[in-house]
Amino acid sequence: MIEFFQNLSFMKTAFLVGILIGGITPLIGVFIFARRLPHISESLSQMNLAGVAIGSTIGSAVPYLSGINPRIYGVIFALIGAFLVELLRKVFRDFSDMSIPIILSFGTGLGALFFSILHGFNADFFNYLFGSLIAVNQSDLNNTLIISFIVVIILLIFYRPLLLITFDAEYAQVTGIRKKWIDAIFMVLMALTISVSVQAVGVMLVTGMMTLPIATAIFIGKSFKSVIFLSIIFGEAAVLIGLVLSYYLSIATGGAIITFSLLCFLLVIGVKHIYRMSMRRHIQK
Amino acid sequence: MLQDILQVDFLRYAFLSGIMIGIICPVIGVFIVLRKMSLMADGMSHMALSGIAAGLALQRYLPFLYFINPFYIGMLFSVLGSFCIRPLMKLYPFYREFVIPIILASAIGLSVVFISLADAFNKDLFGYLFGSLITISHTDFLVVLIVLVIVLGFVILCYKPLLILTFDEEGSLVSKRGKQVTDILFTMIVALVVSVTMNIVGVLLVSAMMIIPVAKGMQLAKSFKQVFIYSIIFAEFDIIGGLVVSYQFNWSTGGTIVVLAFVLFMIVLLIKKTVQSISRSKPVSYSSDETVKF
């Protein structure tokens, strides 16, 4: 433990980025759950991979574009992915669940293809897939701070319209809320959140961070606000404990974080199940 | 190129296995798509990855178990995973889609932990994730051949029960037990197909090989049997084209195959849209008597 605190200054940036990500990802995740969009978040994260791969290829091929951060391409491609999923869902009305694996694997395939074109597979690619919070530096922290701030502010501004569209679409239309605009803003928020969360848990696991804490919180929370609150707590716990575990057991950060949330999720389901069983028995008596 | 295929062993095995996989995947994929199980196939392939990772970790810590190929553990995990997915879906009865990210992310999270334990973050892992030409040995080739025989035998022998399971899940034409047996057999066959396809296109892209060719076939076909034929043709084209291109340019095999498949899919959609808008006056007729619209 002493050794751990000695390394704390080195881990400080990682912890700060982790705390920010552990907060905003479940926050967006609650709205994704309520608005029934998990399929979009999946494809957004995979297309983000493709975008970053293509971005770094363009950056190395065209010198005067190399100043652009590949993350920006990631956000743009994520938005294209969201559009493609909606398009495919319209094409296959009766088999709309097919559109998710198609876009998912297209994003992954495109990412793998461009990474292999660029410089073959290397450790960077692993970090990108599975996350490496320990590798973040000061500029990553600054970026994360700015983006988290923007996401939270926009969410606060559009909190009411978002809730209205989610739970009472007709009333929202009557009050003159433009559904398309709110949807578009929400997509951008998702793409931004994914592009920063990738640092902690990696592309393959971002959606886990957006769903597992919420899936756990829903079994406990009694109102929308309490679900938001609980999911943020579960998210923070997962990131912090996952970070410590990954440090001690030398496991990839993303894996530790998601496995910890999975254990939380299974524990809550189990406890709830036992509680219900005992209640039933109590009533029968 | 052709000379290389004839002379170099691993290339020959890769191409032959690819051709067989081009038959296996769409045949099973048609049933997967029509039974609306495409997400389940995705979940099963990701579970297979955690199985492989667990196998690698096992080999590192318990060396006397060296004879257990990680692939078999992968297969086992993917069958076990398929049995976990349905109860999870029951937890969120109004919201089944929510379960997919949970399963996918949990499976990958577990695999990452196992991979770290096995200390296997290396080139081989990329082969498992995104497929590779080099990993296919003579034994792998034989395994694919056996799986091809099993899959074709299963589909031909159980064609009627499979059709009933697909189009009339609630119907009473088959006894409940018969349906359950077919369902379990089908799931196990999907796990088999996932684990052999993994060799060439990689775990993360297996579901694409089962679904994208069928999606293309469904756009063009006018009957159920035509869907099979078109899907197999498309799958063969994707796999052989992808293998040739990826070998020529030294690109990622799975990535090339899937991107090729997707681009072709978009082209097919575009052509269909233009043809439809040209001949809008003619109603499109479906010769199949099912109420399913492609």
d(CA A90, CA B291): 18
Confidence at residue A9, expressed as pLDDT on a 0 to 100 scale: 65
Closest CB from A41, A91, A112 relative to B101: A41
The predicted pLDDT at position A98 comes to: 79
Q: Identify which has the larger pLDDT, A19 or A67.
A: A19
Residue A257 in tokens: 């974080």
* A93, burial (CB in 10 Å: exposed 0-12, middle 13-18, buried 19+): exposed
CATH number of the domain to which B261 belongs: 1.10.3470.10
Is the pLDDT at A266 greater than 80, yes or no?
Answer: yes
Q: So what's the pLDDT on residue B67?
A: 75
B33 vs A contacts (CB less than 8 Å): 95, 98
Question: Which band of pLDDT confidence, cut at 50, 70 and 90, is reported for residue B150?
Answer: very high
Which of A121, A256, A262 lies nearest to residue B106, judging by beta carbons? A262
In chain A, residues with a C-beta closer than 8 Å to the C-beta of B266 are: none
Contact B212 A259 (CB under 8 A): no
Which residue of A lies nearest to B32 if distances are taken between CA atoms?
A: A98
Select the more confidently predicted residue: B179 or B31.
Answer: B31
Nearest to B39 among A94, A97, A211 (CB): A97
Nearest Cα residue in chain A from B109: A255
CB B50 within 8 A of CB B203: no
Distance of CA B250 to the CA centre of its chain: 24
pLDDT interval class at B29 (50, 70, 90): very high
In A177-206, the residues whose Cβ lies within 8 Å of chain B are 204-206
In 3D space, the residue among B254, B125, B201 whose CA is nearest the CA of residue A122 turns out to be B125
Q: Which pLDDT tens digit goes with each residue over B225-237?
A: 899 999 999 999 9
Q: What percent of chain B has pLDDT over 90?
A: 20
Does A108 sit within 8 Å of B207, measured CB to CB?
no
> Given CB atoms, is B251 within the 8 Å cutoff of chain A?
yes
Strand ranges (DSSP E) for B159-292? none
In a domain, residue B294? The reply is no
> Chain A window 54-83: which residues touch B at a Cβ cutoff of 8 Å?
none
Q: What pLDDT score does B169 carry?
A: 64
pLDDT at A232: 94
- Residue B264 counted as domain residue: yes
The total of structural domains in chain B comes to: 1
Helix count and strand count (H, E) for chain A:
13, 0
* CA B173/CA A277 separation, integer angstroms: 36
Does residue B263 lie within any of the structural domains? yes
CA dist B196 and A135 (Å) reads 36
Q: Which of residues 117-156 of B touch A (CB under 8 A)?
A: 117, 121, 123, 125-126, 129-130
Token pair listed for B243: 């293998």
Residue B289 lies in a domain: no
How far apart are alpha carbons A238 and A260 in whole angstroms? Answer: 6
Least confident of A98-107, B168-177, B247-256: B168-177
Angle of helix A8-34 versus helix A138-157 axis, rounded to 10: 30
Q: What is the pLDDT of residue A195?
A: 87
pLDDT mean over A144-173? 87
Per-residue confidence at A164, pLDDT binned at 50, 70, 90?
confident
Question: Where do the domains of chain A lie, and which CATH numbers do they carry?
Answer: 2-203 (1.10.3470.10)
| Nearest-CA distance B208 → chain A (Å) | 6
Lowest-confidence region among A48-62, A254-268, B142-156, B159-173 = B159-173
In tens, the pLDDT along A215-228 reads: 899 888 888 899 99
- pLDDT confidence band for B116 (50 / 70 / 90): confident
B288: in domain: no
Model pLDDT, residue B162:
83
> Position of tokens 């690698």?
B56
Q: To probe the interface with B, which of A113, A207, A211, A216 has the most B CB atoms within 10 Å?
A: A113
Length of chain A (residues)? 285
Residue B209 sits in which domain range? 2-277
Please write the tens of the pLDDT for every residue from A90-116: 777 777 777 888 888 898 889 888 888
Average pLDDT, chain B: 83
CA distance A278 to A281: 5
* Whole-number Å distance between alpha carbons of A171 and B154: 53
Contact (CB<8Å) A252/B116: yes
* Cα distances (angstroms) measured from residue B165 to each of A276, B36, B44, B52, B211: 34, 12, 20, 31, 19
Domain contains B54: yes
Residue A127 contacts B, CB cutoff 8 Å: no
Above 90 in pLDDT, residue B66? Answer: no
Q: Of B22, B44, B250, which Cα lies nearest the Cα of B132?
A: B250
Q: Does B113 touch chain A (CB under 8 A)?
A: yes
Residue A178's alpha-carbon distances to A87, A182, A261, B56, B129, in angstroms, are: 20, 6, 36, 52, 42
Output the average pLDDT for chain A: 84
Binning chain B into helix, strand and coil, the percentages to the nearest 5 are 80, 0, 20
The residue among A81 and A118 whose pLDDT is bigger is A81
Residue A224 tokens, joined? 């929308």
Our CA-based measurement puts residue B221 at a distance from the nearest CA of chain A, in whole angstroms, of 14
- pTM for the model stands at 0.84
pLDDT in tens, A20-47: 999 999 999 998 888 877 777 888 888 8
Among A151-155, A200-204, B186-190, which is the least confidently predicted range?
A: A200-204
Using CA atoms, how far apart are residues A40 and A48, in angstroms rounded to an integer?
12
Question: CB contact, 8 Å: B167 with chain A?
Answer: no
- What pLDDT score was predicted for residue A169? 75
Confidence of residue A82 (pLDDT cuts 50, 70, 90): confident
Q: How far is A213 from chain B (nearest CA, A)?
A: 10
Residue B290 has pLDDT above 60, yes or no: no
Name the pLDDT band for A1 (thresholds 50, 70, 90).
low
Share of chain B above pLDDT 70, in %: 90
Is residue B287 assigned to a domain? no
Judge whether A166 and A34 are in contact, CB under 8 Å.
yes
Q: Do A102 and B208 touch (CB under 8 A)?
A: yes
pLDDT tens digit sequence for A145-154: 999 999 999 9
Confidence band of B139 (pLDDT split at 50, 70, 90): confident
Q: How far apart are alpha carbons A104 and A126 in whole angstroms?
A: 18
